[in-house]
Structure 1
Amino acid sequence: MQKDYPVQIDLIEPRKEWRNQQQINESFAVHHKISTEIKSFSKAALLGAVFKLKFWQSFFHQFNLRESIRSGAVQAKFTPLMQQYDVICFHYLSTPVLWLHQFVPAGKKIIYSFWGSDLFRNNWLYDHALQSDALKKAHHIIVHSMEMRLIALAKFGWQLEGKISALVSTDIAKALEKYTGNTHAAAAGCLASFKQKHNIPLQDTVIVIGHSAHDIDNHLYIIPQLATLDKEYLDHCTFVLPMTYGIEANYFREVEKALQAQKIKYIILSNFLNEEEMLELRYASEILVRLSKYDAFSLSLCETLAAGNIAIVATWLPYGALRSSGVYYKEVDAFYKLPAMLKKVLQHKKEYQQQCLDNGKKISELYSQQNAIEKLAKIYMS
């Protein structure tokens, strides 16, 4: 965007761990790493916090000295930084992110961007009242799809109708280039390498379940259904569960216990995957099962589809844009229907893979046609 429009876009991240620095450097002019943890501030900064308005507001509201000092210290660091910007866009509207809203100087144009879980869930981490209050101050609100837009309006009120735009703000087309540009031989090489690395029999079909270690992927509903697949097919399937992020020990153990109980061949990927390993996994995902509780516009799904593989997804997921663009995938509307669909896909795997060959091109065209960069620039500059 910064190449085509007279804007400078900087990134401010209140994170404990930082993402891929190379990607950040390519996308943003400046990257500010802001910690909001009290231990990250110097003694002088903590002493100075008591002279800040937010210290006293917090103290008289909560009577919590530690949190009040943190509020004052964050105000001293965050507010002057925000003062130099005209537009401030909050991505992923969790409670910790929205907590920073109070430190934005008056008169700034504020944009909010929902990413998925922050819209679909309602608990202490995604507090409805806190989000609703923040959205009242929004100049604009961004979601990834028309389905998400409808959910946001139903959840927060139709008075926001004129403020909400549905567009994918991530450059999907660029992310898919590494899949659409590869040859069939390269894809076959990735599959062979993945099977060798994980001791998967050559004749087995690799079936990937979900994309995270969160319970939103419905592993415990899917796993019992896998075991009911006809034995002649089940014996030639290896199920791969990528659980490389969002790991909660208790849930992870439950999933592993369920897999062991069904006595099926499985592999759990729990270590962080680098870019090369992720590329290999996408190509090795001959069949992807995505029956999550909810999802936004899933990059992992789009990458697997662009790699020419088959996806079986839930009808309740908001993939209307993919469907209307003719992207080829299979759907089920209930967990108990998964075995029959898996059997059908295994029977016609080669035929269905041929149908998937143009998926990457179709998804890239979908992104290009929505003119996301132009629309975002207008939102920022209006």
Structure 2
Amino acid sequence: MIEERKKRIKSMIEEQINRGLLDEAKFYITEYMKIVNDDSEIYSMLGVIFILQNDLEKAEESLIRGLYLDKDNFDIHYNLGYVYEKMEYFMDAYIHYYKALKLCDNTNLKEEINNFLINLRNNINNVSNLENYVNSYENIKKIVIVQDIPCIRTHKIAKMIASKGIQVDLMYYSLHPLQVYGEIELPYKNIYKISDAKAFIEFINKSDYDIVYSANEPDYFTVLLLAADKPVIHDTHDMMSIRSKLSNEQIVLEYIANKNAHGNIYVHELQKEIAQNKFGITNKHIFVLNNLIERNLIPKNYKPKLSSLDGKIHCVYEGGLSSNKASHRYLEDFFKRLASENIHVHIYGHVDNNYILNLVKFSPFIHYEGILPPKELIFEMTQYDVGLAYFNVNENNYYHINTVSPNKVYDYLAAGLPIAFSDLVSLKLFNEEYKVGKVIDIKKPLYKQILEITNIKIERDFIVKNNLFINSHVHELIKFFNDVKNDFKKTLSNKSDNKLLIIRSLYSIFIEEFVKRIYENFNIKVDLMTFDDKYKNCVNAYINQFFIINQENFANKIKQLDFYDCINIHYVTPIYAYVIEEIRKKCNMLVVTVWGSDYYRSNNDIRELQRKIYDSADVITFASEEIKNDFLNYYGKDYESKAVVCRFGLTTLEEIDKLENIDRNELKKILEIPDDKLVISIGYNASKEHNHLKIIEEIDKVKYQFNRDVFLLLPMTYNGDEEYKKEVKNKLANLGLEYKVLEDYLPISDFVKYEKVTDIMLQLQTTDALSASMQENLYCGNVVITGSWLPYRILEDNGCWFIKIEKINDLSNIISEVVNNYELYKTKTSNNKKIIYNLSSWRTNIYQWGNLLIK
């Protein structure tokens, strides 16, 4: 009901926009956002209003907020492309139009966007860079930032990345960002608190993050993350060993983090050079990213100068303070000297309350102004005359301070303020290049020096003209991520001699997809041994050697094999037991993958024969904890140390995503399914195990209780015999309900269309492992009714919602209830898509396979 109300309100707002009633539309959007503040479509509409009002900066801001919520929103990417094209940020425009093109299913609109892209290429100087950037955005979809206490640099980098439609998650240990900075806009899709090291690494390993971005200080998170199977980037905000004296443990952690991370980021060229020399860093991707400002923080208007009112000089200091005289943030003496020469000092930042109260009591020229969000802070600072980039330098912090790239420098310049610099190498180099202030000689009187600085004029477009905003570096940063990820994949593949053999008796689309993903992610072409020649279609693409075997020559073929780093048996066919000793001799590691029915549908005699195979294995993999536990309950705990859960990904999820923007009724017309009927799908293949006949009987009992028309859909494209199919069709013909039986082979891209138009799926087969088709239906948001006897505990444990019945005869008790109240049941499925993606996408699972088979 709530969703329907939201749709009606948004439809009304859209109508107002179309009629040009922009202020009215804006009013209703504001009221809507007081209740619902996480609706990407509303931010998209607000962005359109600002575009129509020619306020491109506000349009950009609104659209980006929408992108934080929905990174794959076609309208937002399209409109951002338009905004950036008008603002003449042509590279940004190209990337967003390109992403919109990928999300578009309208032929005419695709042609229009392609024309935009062609025109934009003419405005982009380095087209070769453009191709690299596009490729990088194809490969970097999701990153996680890890930091003890998230800092402002991390916040800026996260916003920059998320603004390009890349999902950014945050994992912290000590403080949530809102505890640090108050009510600031957060660009993170998910925020997690780290509580346990083992669970932390397991979470990372099971995730589909392309990059793990670890920000120091401290350095120990990077070191811990190197135990995971994801590429780790170490961002050195402060090099701790040149800032203060470290313990032996801290020295070791800093060395490992800088030396062994898969990519390094530093805040200054000087810091990078020190790290390269100090840690012996060579042949590694390194990126230098100064603490630049965000473009949208640059104020359009300035406040009147306080000095114009009282004739005094007003300086401002942004940042933390310390009462510790050894700290570089101990500025008390400096502030007191300024105050004694009748120069006002205005302080913004996190400080100890008692300390600052005592400091401001010293002089009426020292003021504490509190804490402000970044945009408000920079606007407030426009009323002052000089920004203070000053530090307390001593022998303990000299090397550290000489490599800093302070956030405050860029904030002052954005506020149009000239700067009083400390006598530090990095700051002097900056000032020599840009001439935006003067270095203070602390030994001389300060008033005359500060007065001279007030005469230096900073143009309002200084930051933009000199490309000193962080947004301008986003494409290079994403390319850096992609380079690190690609090298990490090569490193994985180089850890073996690329000798991997897959043994699978019969053809399966899952095996074809599996070997394809191994090749795409680790650059390894596997060898494949099988009884089935259907795999031949994919030989040249991602299979190295192809061995067709039969029962007669199986043993001889095994003896003739080369030696492998790893052999992976898929589906435990009993015949393997007779040659398992020979297989074991041919590899360093043997991995046996239990699919489910090879265990559940085997009798005790077969299971005892299969025991020989399990005895020889180094690792036994399962699709779920439930199957693993059933297996161990039968065989005993002897195999417990070998047993791991390692799932296939579902390529079908990617195919379903391609249908996101296609109207369901249009799909129904294409598939010749009535658009006014509720679609009930029964099973997913023609096997008798799917109990089609019993299900039809249960529907027959209650069909007259339905308050709407239904349409039955039976996918029977494989398994089963013609006699059984005929029996099912006869049963359907006598049911009196409209139906469709799918018998001809369907490619995945076509099969998922039927899942997309399904409303209710009945998954009541006798046994199962972890049904791909059921997961696909859950991913589509369909209501699924399944049997409590099936091993789907993993789905329940992760929060998936579906209906369970104790026996097939119970179906008649629930099916009419679900049909008659479908909309209510449908609302319960809203979280299923995200859960299934996290469990079963290839992006989530492939690195676990790589870690198992290749490392």
One fold, TM greater than 0.5? yes
Hey, what does 2:681 align to over in structure 1?
208
Post-superposition CA distance 1:57-94 (Å, at most 9, x none): xxxxxxxxxx9x964x444433333x331211100112
Q: In structure 2, the residue corresponding to 1:227 is in which secondary structure?
A: helix
Q: Which moved more, 1:134-143 or 1:17-26?
A: 17-26
Name the residue aligned to 2:610: 131
Task: Say whether 1:141 aligns with 2:632.
Answer: no
Shift of 1:224: 0.7
1:202-244 deviations in whole A, cap 9, x for unaligned? 3221111011111211222212101012415287122111111
| 1:102/1:243 CA distance change after superposition, 3 Å | farther
Tell me the distance in 1 between the aligned counterparts of 2:653 and 2:844.
Answer: 17
1:152 lines up with 2:631 in the alignment:
yes
Which residue does the alignment assign to 1:361? 834
In structure 1, distance between residues paired with 2:510 and 2:617: 29
Scaled by the length of structure 1, the TM-score of the pair is 0.78
Instruction: Choose which of 794, 799, 807 in structure 2 pairs with 1:334.
Output: 807
How big is the shift at 1:323? 1.1
Write out per-residue CA displacement over residues 276-309 of structure 1, whole angstroms, 9 at most, x where no aligned residue: 2112111022110001111112211111111121
Structure 1 position 165 matched with structure 2 position 644: yes
Aligned equivalents of 2:511 and 2:612: distance in 1?
Answer: 33
1:183 corresponds in structure 2 to: 660
| Separation in 2, partners of 1:115, 1:74 | 22
Question: 259-268 or 15-24, which moves further after superposition?
Answer: 15-24
Distance 1:9 1:223, change over 3 A: farther
Tell me the CA shift for residue 164 of structure 1. 0.9
Q: Are 1:308 and 2:308 counterparts?
A: no
Distance 1:332 1:70 in 2: 42
CA contact (8 A) 2:503 2:569 kept: no
How many Å separate the matches in 2 of 1:135 and 1:234? 53
Residue 322 (str. 1) matches residue 795 (str. 2): yes
Equivalent residue, structure 2, for 1:27? 518
Secondary structure of 2:613's aligned partner: helix
Q: Give the aligned residue type for 1:87.
A: C
Match of 1:49 in 2: none
Residue number among 593, 596, 606 corresponding to 1:113 in the alignment: 593
Return the offset for 1:111.
1.4
* 1:78 pairs with 2:558: yes
Q: How far did residue 319 of structure 1 move?
A: 1.1
> What do you get for the CA RMSD once the two structures are aligned?
3.4
Specify the structure having the higher radius of gyration (Cα): 2
Evaluate the alpha carbon distance shift between residue 17 and residue 182 of structure 1 in structure 2; reply closer, same or farther with a 3 A threshold. Answer: closer
Match of 2:766 among 293, 306, 309: 293
SS of alignment partner, residue 301 of structure 1: helix
> SS at the partner of 2:693?
helix
- 8 Å contact kept, 1:145–1:167: yes
Asked whether the 8 Å contact 1:92–1:114 carries over to 2, the reply is yes
| Greater relative contact order (CA < 8 Å, ≥ 6 in sequence) | 1
Q: CA–CA distance in 1 between the matches of 2:687 and 2:838?
A: 31
Is the 1:92–1:115 Cα contact (8 Å) retained in structure 2? yes
Count of paired positions = 343
2:602 maps to 122
2:503 and 2:842 map into 1 onto residues whose CA distance is 30
Which moved further from structure 2: 93-102 or 270-279? 93-102
Q: CA–CA distance in 1 between the matches of 2:669 and 2:842?
A: 36
C-alpha distance 319-374 of structure 1, shift in aligned 2 (>3 A): same
SS in 1 for 2:790: coil
Partner of 1:53: none
Q: 2: CA distance between counterparts of 1:150 and 1:93?
A: 17
Letter in 2 for 1:119: Y
Structure 1 position 266 matched with structure 2 position 739:
yes
Contact preservation (8 Å) 1:142, 1:166: yes
CA distance in 1, matches of 2:792, 2:624: 8
Q: Take 1:360 and 1:276, find their aligned partners in 2: how far apart are those partners? A: 18
Q: Provide closer, same or farther for how the CA distance between residues 370 and 159 of structure 1 changes in structure 2, counting only shifts above 3 A.
A: farther
Q: 1:3 to 1:144 in 2, by over 3 A?
A: farther
Amino acid aligned to 1:171: G
- Aligned CA distance change for structure 1 residues 231 and 309 (closer, same or farther; 3 Å): same
**1:127 CA displacement:** 2.1
| Alpha carbons 2:691, 2:765 under 8 Å: kept | yes
SS at match of 1:327: coil
CA distance in 1, matches of 2:707, 2:817: 13
**8 Å contact from structure 2 (residues 649, 844) kept in 1:** no
User: Residues 96 and 351 from structure 1, CA distance in 2 versus in 1: closer, same or farther, beyond 3 angstroms?
Assistant: same
Match of 2:750 in 1: 277
Counterpart in the other structure of 1:101: 580
The 2-side partners of 1:329 and 1:251 are apart by 29
1:318, CA displacement in angstroms? 1.1
Cα separation, partners in 2 of 1:350 and 1:3, compared to 1, 3 Å: farther
1:238 aligns with 2:711: yes
Q: When the two structures are superposed, what TM-score results if normalisation uses the length of structure 2?
A: 0.37
Displacement of 1:335: 1.6
Describe the superposition over 1:150-176 as per-residue Cα deviations: whole angstroms up to 9, x where unpaired.
2111222221122111231x124x542
Q: Which runs of 5+ in 2 are unaligned?
A: 1-228, 230-488, 533-548
| Residues 157 and 254 of structure 1, relative CA distance in 2, 3 Å threshold | farther
Q: Distance in 2 between matches of 1:336 and 1:184?
A: 38
Maintained 8 Å contact 1:92/1:113: yes
DSSP 3-state at the match of 1:229: helix
State the AA in 1 paired with 2:731. Answer: A
